[in-house]
Amino acid sequence: MTGILAFIVVFGLLVTVHEFGHMFFAKRAGIMCPEFAIGMGPKIFSYKYNDTQYTVRLLPIGGYVRMASKDMEVNPLNAGMRINIKLNDNDEITHILLDDKHNFQHVEEIEVVESDIAEAMYIKGLKLNDNSEVTYHFSSECYFVENSELERIAPLSGRFETKSVWARFITLFAGPLFNFLLAFVLFTILFYIQGKPVDEPIVGTVVEDTPAADIDLEAGDRIQSIDGTSVDSWAHMTQLIQEGEGSPQELVIESGGDTHTETLVPAVETTELPDGTEQKRLIIGVGRDFENGIIAPVWWGIQETVSSMSLIFELVVNMIGTIFAGTFSFDMLNGPVGIYKVTESVASQGILVLMNFTALLSVNLGIMNLLPIPALDGGRILFVLYEGIFRRPLNRKVELNIQLIGVLFVLVIMVLVTWNDIKTFFL
């Protein structure tokens, strides 16, 4: 149950922050957002506020912000259809009533001859009272009304494609950007709570009934050397312990200004991985020292975020390299099932470990979404940059076909990764 709750919180937080980034800058640019969705598939919850339907959907495989565009406008008006319309003082349509479940007064009934809600924004029809032909254009705030529910028709000025290249670029980039900002916030909070790990080989804590406790190591002691090799960092100390393969090791320790030598035998710690296998490593039973501060954690949070971005970008590039080298394996990727199993394992180690994992996952989500794949933010950004460079948009039919290929590619990868996760964890 803890694993399920942790997964829902982590998934919900990452997707909500990512999609909120898109929606925040879209609305700042004047782009209408008819829907803000967490998850995919059937709706399990919805709430409408300020012309945006906020929905939670069944499948935890992402989310989206549906932005108004010409391609998104579905015209429910067919020739011969009888409707009621509400006009303003300028004879512009404010409401198109698709059924009789409404309380509007002073409406005009017409039979539709033709209509365009994508570009020209008008309805041509025949008045039923005198059979005269009329043409009415939409007001800037025009709604379809059906089953007493209002759905606003996006005006041309509220559509994605009518905005500047810069407005569209920042709207698309904002999702990954907000993921990086979330990582920074989480890292900063972590540093405020527990401090920043000191890189030097200085003992911060000693665990009882471990090899370190047996030789009376204390907090503040510095490990100068192991088996004659000078230790220059905590990572170096860990490496030398692992390289000792469990044999007795001689440590030179500086304690309270004095130096002495002790011999210990590392213990073996066994950890069960999410896939059910066991991982063994050597430990001596010490924890790192931490430094604290008031302003410093903010700077440390920036450093850790940039460092994580660099590391994950390098891992992604290396993974792409394995595709061309013929050494790629789906074991390198985790789908929703794999992420759930890892989250479950991490959650069992405490809230701080889960926060650190969430920050890293947020950076990973931001990097992956910037890949130049048409179905992702990175691919859509490429289309916008193309228009900015060549001063004209890519042929719309070509762009839609490329995006379709991108969507199919992502869906195939998602299915294969999920199946691989199921085989790894359950079969």
- List, for residues 4-61, the tens digit of each pLDDT value: 899 899 999 999 999 999 999 999 999 999 999 999 889 999 999 988 999 999 988 8
- State the pLDDT confidence band at 147, using cuts at 50, 70 and 90: confident
* pLDDT score at 167: 96
Q: What is the pLDDT of residue 166?
A: 96
Give the pLDDT of residue 292.
86
Q: For residue 427, is pLDDT > 70?
A: no
Q: What pLDDT shows up at residue 198?
A: 86
pLDDT digits (tens, 9 = 90+) for 246-277: 889 999 999 888 898 999 889 888 776 665 66
Q: Which of 41-50, 99-108, 149-158, 282-291 has the lowest mean pLDDT?
A: 99-108
Lowest mean pLDDT among 1-5, 125-129, 373-377, 378-382: 1-5
**Would you identify the CATH topology of the domain 198-290?**
Pdz3 Domain (2.30.42)
Catalytic residue among 19, 108, 304, 399: 19
pLDDT over 90 percentage in the chain: 51
Averaged confidence pLDDT in the chain: 89
What is the rounded average pLDDT of the residues 291-312? 90
Task: Indicate if the pLDDT at residue 139 is higher than 60.
Answer: yes
Give the pLDDT score at 26: 97
Which part of the chain has CATH 2.30.42.10? 198-290
d(CA 399, CA 381): 12
Alpha carbons 284 and 278: distance in angstroms, whole number: 19
Question: Residue 95: pLDDT band by 50, 70, 90 thresholds?
Answer: very high
Is the pLDDT score of 1 beyond 70? no
Q: Report which of residues 100 and 301 the model is more confident about.
A: 301
299 vs 148, residue with greater confidence: 299
What's the pLDDT at 332? 74
Predicted local confidence at residue 315, as pLDDT = 87
Q: Is the pLDDT of residue 335 over 80?
A: no
Q: Is 399 a catalytic residue?
A: no
Percent of the chain beyond pLDDT 70?
98
Q: How far apart are CA 416 and CA 335, in angstroms?
A: 9
Question: Rounded mean pLDDT of 226-239?
Answer: 92
Q: What is residue 269's predicted lDDT score, i.e. its pLDDT?
A: 81
pTM score of the predicted model:
0.83
